[in-house]
Amino acid sequence: MRFHRSPRVRYCPDPGFLAIHPGDTLAGFQVTQLLGRGGMGEVWGARAPGTGHEVAIKVLLAKAALKPDLVARFEREALVCASIDSEYVCKLLGHDRDANGTHFLIFEKLEGESLSERLKRELYLPFAEVGPLIDDTLLGLAAAHQAGVIHRDLKPGNIFLERTRDPLRPERAKILDFGISKLSHKHGGHRDEPSLTDFDATLGSFAYMAPEQVRSAARVDQRCDIYALGAVAYRALAGRLPFEGPSAGTVIALKLDRVAPSLSEATRDHWPGALERFLAKALQREPDLRFDSAEEALVEWRACLPGAQTRRAQAAAPSLGNRPGDDEPATMTEASAEWATSATATEGSDSWRPRQ
């Protein structure tokens, strides 16, 4: 689906920025505010004239548009998102390219916050809160995998916690940003993958990346997303990642060489056995030892939910912080969800720093 051209967008001589301002017309929508900016593009909030319907528009910067690999990746994201039909994946409404050659992707505008933003505010979350969010994310992954799409960059910044109007379920998790996704071989991905992957041999965020993706992003299958989902659940529950260190190199070495510690080992808390077994399987170094599909993982995850309690869930307070007596800061800094498709941003918002 295409939208109207954008006659009122002013273009800046600096290819690193677009001279877009609130009130301008962008892809037929009236711009309201800047939502985010990454190395390769900007995300703008906008409103449809007449109806007031709000959308989020991704815009590819001029400097990125000069690189065929990035243009191909951007155009492929439109095709990929259009192929996934799930209420747990951010919906693509259309795409456009104006007379100046600027590329747009128009998405539904979501109200809420990313999981990354929540984990900045609350170091860890009770299982009662994490359970439904991981359930939603697995449903979104299942839909993507059924469409032949492997996300390859699942992390808290790419999981959005959307506010709903359902009093029984006030929020829902949705997967964002398929910018570095891969099409499976059976869906024609083999033909396009080499040129896109050559742009960056280790696409994805190292903190949540499966070991095999560190070696070759081009050869991964859907099980790399299962690993990343396991790392996200671990981070949300434990307040830390399975593997942490002062540098990306250290984390990668640990990930390639060691078995992920259990939640009990990492936190010194008692956790349900079913939950420990789920994470141990999701975080296996060898893909063949993990869940084979998101559907299989979802069945096992739901088996963890009934009656599962931890001391954190039982003692959950309005504001969660460090464990009593733990004065050390988190070892991970996680910025809010933003669009970052450049090679220099493959670690995204998840960077490492040594403990103080």
Give the CA count within 13 Å in the CB-facing half-sphere of 196: 23
Helix (H) or strand (E) holding 97: strand 92-97
Backbone phi, then psi, for 76, in 5-degree steps? -70, -35
Nearest Cα neighbor of 330 from 265, 241, 255 is 241
Whether 142 contacts 301, CB under 8 Å: no
Task: Number of helices (H) and strands (E) in the chain: give both, helices first.
Answer: 12, 13
- 96 in active site: no
Whether 172 contacts 165, CB under 8 Å: no
CB atoms within 10 A of CB 96: 20
d(CA 2, CA 281): 43
Residue of 96, 136, 153, 177 marked active site = 153
Q: At which residue do the structure tokens 């307070």 appear?
A: 317
d(CA 24, CA 340): 24
Strands (E), 176-299: 182-183
Whether 48 contacts 31, CB under 8 Å: no
Strands 159-163 and 350-352, sheet pairing: unpaired
Helix (H) or strand (E) holding 137: helix 127-146
The catalytic residue positions are 153
